[in-house]
Amino acid sequence: MNIIRYPERNDRERITGRSRTDLSELNAAVEKILDDVRENGDRAVIRYEEMFDKAALQSLVVTEKELEEALTEVSEELLDALHLAHGNIERFHRAQAMTVKKVETQPGVTCWQKSVAIEKVGLYVPGGTAPLFSTVLMLATPAVIAGCREIVLCTPPGKDGKVNPAILAAAHIAGVRKIFKIGGVQAIGAMAYGTESVPKVYKIFGPGNQYVMAAKQIVSLHDVAIDMPAGPSEVCVIADETSNPEFVAADMLSQAEHGADSQAVLITTSERMLDDVAACIDRQTEALERKEFIRKSLENSMLILVKDYDEAMELSNIYAPEHLIIATENHEELAAKVVNAGSVFLGKYACESAGDYASGTNHTLPTHGYATAYSGVNLDSYNRKITFQHITPEGIANIGRAVEIMAENERLDAHKNAMTVRIDECKNIYGEKK
């Protein structure tokens, strides 16, 4: 790991910056697959499934029989955990529902906003090195609460042509029935353009590798909305002399095991804590199954020693982490200073794993510094806000002349006239506005 002691102020942007690679070749490869899927539909998707996922498929659809079989293959213990997690995720996201409030901006001028569900959404759930059934709950639960009419889920099959049963169980619990055996770029293309089997959607959600992320950004230019741009996963832990180094090391490693390009950052006010965490990371890594991923990830990771809490929070806000763990005694005080972060975990017992699975918050979050401008997935992500207004003759009398003057000064005569004809009619009701 990279150890940095007391970084200079003018060096903070550099040390918190993410690596940037030339994506021109990757984007070219992704665009070729997307074009093929758009032109050839299911045939192209099936071909890429055999090429990339080594699955020879006759059909892309997960049948009801396969769904029922999956439920029998998942242990009762895991089913109970999935139900508990789903319940918490549902409670947290249902509480985000918007209340319609009408506002009379002037007498006779009433404005309001209504939240309307996106009709068709696509959810991408990675398989790859780990079956992310938790992501099914995170993406599908708010979609169902929002009332999305059509929810499409794509996830890669194994070599046997079957989807991981835990993913199907999670989909069943969350209420998703349109499930397709498609992974990678071809899944994003299928949902963006539609195929003979897969419906075209209006917005695509979900994480993935750099190919999936590139595909999402490419289709978002012209064809479909996406949840957010994203890069490799990351965590930042703020610790002091009161923190538990075993906990801090475990939190950093839980992020590092996502993949070789993940990043874990410790910002601490205590040199002893820095040394203790480094030792704990070395020891804990040896006992972990995915230690090869972890070692590569740790090459990108940092232990940073700073002078005080203010510097720690300033550095964290510049970094804008996907996950921020504040493991200090004064975590409530520091929480008030958080400006840029995807999701924040307070106190020594709030591990990132809790948010990843079962506390109720959503784990689909902005990475790569995008937390400066993007939120994580939430109920609003599945809705559009439509504004309404109603104007009476009294309202025309109150705002009509202002509209005329503004339109006239923008030299938009037709805009002015649309109000003028109404003013002329309303004069008979209210007379001239003094």
Distance CA 228, CA 216 (A): 9
List b or e across 350-375, with b for residues whose CB sees 16 or more CB atoms inside 10 angstroms.
bbbbebbbbbbbbbbbbbbbbbeebb
pLDDT in tens, 317-340: 999 999 999 999 999 999 999 999
Query: One of 86, 93, 172, 323 is an active-site residue; which one?
Result: 323
300 labeled binding residue: no
Q: Which of 322, 331, 363, 368 is catalytic?
A: 322
* Measured distance CA(43)–CA(47) in Å, rounded: 6
Q: Which CATH class is domain 24-104+118-229?
A: alpha beta
Question: What mean pLDDT, rounded, does the chain reach?
Answer: 95
258 annotated as a binding-site residue:
yes
To the question of whether residue 410 is assigned a binding role by annotation, the answer is yes
> What is the predicted pLDDT for the residue at 432?
57
**DSSP calls for 284-322:** HHTT-TTHHHHHHHHHT-EEEE-SSHHHHHHHHHHH--S
Calpha distance 166→79 (Å, rounded): 8
Residues of the chain with CATH 3.40.50.1980: 2-18+231-360, 24-104+118-229
Distance CA 53, CA 166 (A): 18
* 323 given a catalytic annotation: yes
H helices of 370-410, where?
Answer: 393-409
Assess whether 8 carries a catalytic annotation.
no
Position 99 pLDDT exceeds 50: yes
Most distant pair of Cα atoms in the chain: their distance: 85
pLDDT tens, 376-428? 999 999 999 999 999 999 999 999 999 999 999 999 999 999 999 999 999 87
What tens digit of pLDDT does each residue of 141-173 get?
999 999 999 999 999 999 999 999 999 999 999
Q: Tell whether residue 93 is among the known ligand binding residues.
A: no
How many CA atoms lie within 13 Å of 192's alpha carbon, on the beta-carbon side?
29
CATH topology of domain 2-18+231-360: Rossmann fold (3.40.50)
